[in-house]
Amino acid sequence: MNKSIFAAASFIFTAAAAGLAAGPIPYVGVFLGVAQAATAPLPAGHPKIGEQGSGKGTAPTIDFSKIAKPKGGKTVQEVYKEKASLNGKPVTLRAKVVKYNGEILGKNWLHLRDGTGSEAANDLTVTTQAKAKVGDTVLVEGIVRLDKDFGSGYRYDLIIEDAKVKVE
């Protein structure tokens, strides 16, 4: 039997026997060293486990052909190329929203592409209070930051923060 599983089970039963556990003891899904998976069905419309957030998905098919670089602004590729000199400075760009995650860590998170850049440098993450939908063309102005770590697994080599976002 796995020692860590045995230790966890022993602690729970010992705590109960000693009167340290107030009320019923929660079922931890382990009995005699065999982990047991939940078998309840997922709610209607819920993505399959492992399907969302796995990092293996692809961006939706979006047409980038009509995205024009804003006057005095940059393309996604240029932001990546010039990131060292842009660090801490404002930047303006026009792109399409390819992913939107709302209200995480008090911010909305946009992933933007404009059809420029290589596979490793064609998607910019932007934090904002504004809302947008996947497929929207947006004009963005925000501060470029490098090596930003928000904790909880949110670490970015390049990000645009606190952006003003105008849906066009």
Q: Give pLDDT tens digits for 37-81.
A: 555 676 776 666 554 444 445 545 788 888 999 999 999 999 999
- Contact between residue 102 and residue 108 where contact means Cβ atoms under 8 Å apart: yes
Topology given in CATH for the domain delimited by 76-167: OB fold (Dihydrolipoamide Acetyltransferase, E2P) (2.40.50)
Residue of 137, 89, 145, 96 lying closest to 116 (CA atoms) = 96
Tens of pLDDT along 29-49?
444 444 445 556 767 766 665
Model pTM? Answer: 0.64
Domain boundaries, the chain: 1-52, 76-167
Per residue in 98-130, pLDDT tens? 999 999 889 999 999 999 998 889 999 999 999
The Cα 11–Cα 5 span in angstroms is: 10
Q: What is the DSSP string of 48-105?
A: PTTTSSSS---------TTPPPPTT-B-HHHHHHTHHHHTTSEEEEEEEEEEEEEEET
Euclidean distance between CA atoms 7 and 158, whole angstroms: 43
